């Protein structure tokens, strides 16, 4: 991430918005601000943002619903949701609507800054819009996966895991690394969430098998000739 990464903070609580923007600005981020979804939509129209921090509940609606609509149109900017809702169901809903990270209020501004740094690094990675490996194709903008030309139905988490593996073909990727990049940071690295998602992916991708277990490490995408 460069020191000129651009972040939009969408928060209707003025005191909190000022505190967050001041902290991010002190760390070298270029900051845009909005207090509602309508303003955020206008600011986002010119593009160029590396991350957006959204309060979930805004005066003109739920930011998660807004983000989900943008994702369906191919919008790929990393999103961090801020919310007072702290149940597992609420966190899952945030990810299912297209969020990349989720921070429950009250929070330490230093932690938010660290998470924004991580999301901006992810945003800065340069890669082709369509990833290919053998007969497997993943379109990041359209959020679509195809195997041998057949469109597959995958969950957001399955998409995220497959996307990460496809950016590192023929490399062993640890479970901890997958959790770090595809799950909330609160996820226990010793849990079996990665194994569950990979098992579902394997069933949907069918044969010949592309996702292989690397004993004692994690998983590797391989076993087919890389596409162009």
pLDDT one-digit tens code per residue, 4-37: 678 999 999 999 999 999 998 888 888 999 999 9
Note whether residue 227 is domain-resident.
Answer: no
Please check whether residues 52 and 138 belong to one and the same domain.
no
- Please report, for the domain that includes residue 13, its CATH number: 3.40.50.2300
Note whether residue 228 is domain-resident.
Answer: no
Which pLDDT score, from 0 to 100, does residue 141 have?
A: 67
Question: If you count them, how many residues does the chain have?
Answer: 228
Strand order in the sheet with 6-10: 30-34, 6-10, 51-55, 79-83, 101-104
In DSSP terms, 34 is beta-bridged to: 10
Going by DSSP bridges, is the β-strand pair 150-152/61-62 parallel, antiparallel, or unpaired? unpaired
Q: Which residue has the tokens 């989900």?
A: 68
pLDDT one-digit tens code per residue, 117-164: 888 877 655 456 688 899 999 987 677 899 999 999 998 889 889 988
Residue finishing a domain among 85, 100, 124: 124
Residue finishing a domain among 124, 152, 180: 124
Q: How many helices (H) and strands (E) does the chain have?
A: 8, 14
Find the domain containing 42 and state its range: 6-124
Encoded tokens for 4 = 């000129």
């Amino acid at each position: 991430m460069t020191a000129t990464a651009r972040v939009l903070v969408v928060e209707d609580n003025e005191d909190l918005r000022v505190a967050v923007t001041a902290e991010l600005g002190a760390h070298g981020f270029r900051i845009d601000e909005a207090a509602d979804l309508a303003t955020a939509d206008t600011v986002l129209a010119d593009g160029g943002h590396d991350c957006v921090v959204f309060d979930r509940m805004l005066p003109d609606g739920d930011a998660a619903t807004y983000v989900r609509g943008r994702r369906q149109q191919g919008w790929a900017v990393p999103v961090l949701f801020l919310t007072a809702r702290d149940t597992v169901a609420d966190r899952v809903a945030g990810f299912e609507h297209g969020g990349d990270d989720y921070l429950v209020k009250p929070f330490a501004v230093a932690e938010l800054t660290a998470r924004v740094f991580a999301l901006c690094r992810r945003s800065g990675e340069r890669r082709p819009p369509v990833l290919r490996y053998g007969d497997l194709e993943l379109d990041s903008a359209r959020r679509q996966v195809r195997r041998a030309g057949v469109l597959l139905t995958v969950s957001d988490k399955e998409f995220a895991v497959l996307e990460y593996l496809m950016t590192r073909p023929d490399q062993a990727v640890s479970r901890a690394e997958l959790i770090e990049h595809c799950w909330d940071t609160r996820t226990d690295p010793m849990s079996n969430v990665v194994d569950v998602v990979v098992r579902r992916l394997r069933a949907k991708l069918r044969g010949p098998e592309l996702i292989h277990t690397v004993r004692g490490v994690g998983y590797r995408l391989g076993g087919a000739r890389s596409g162009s």
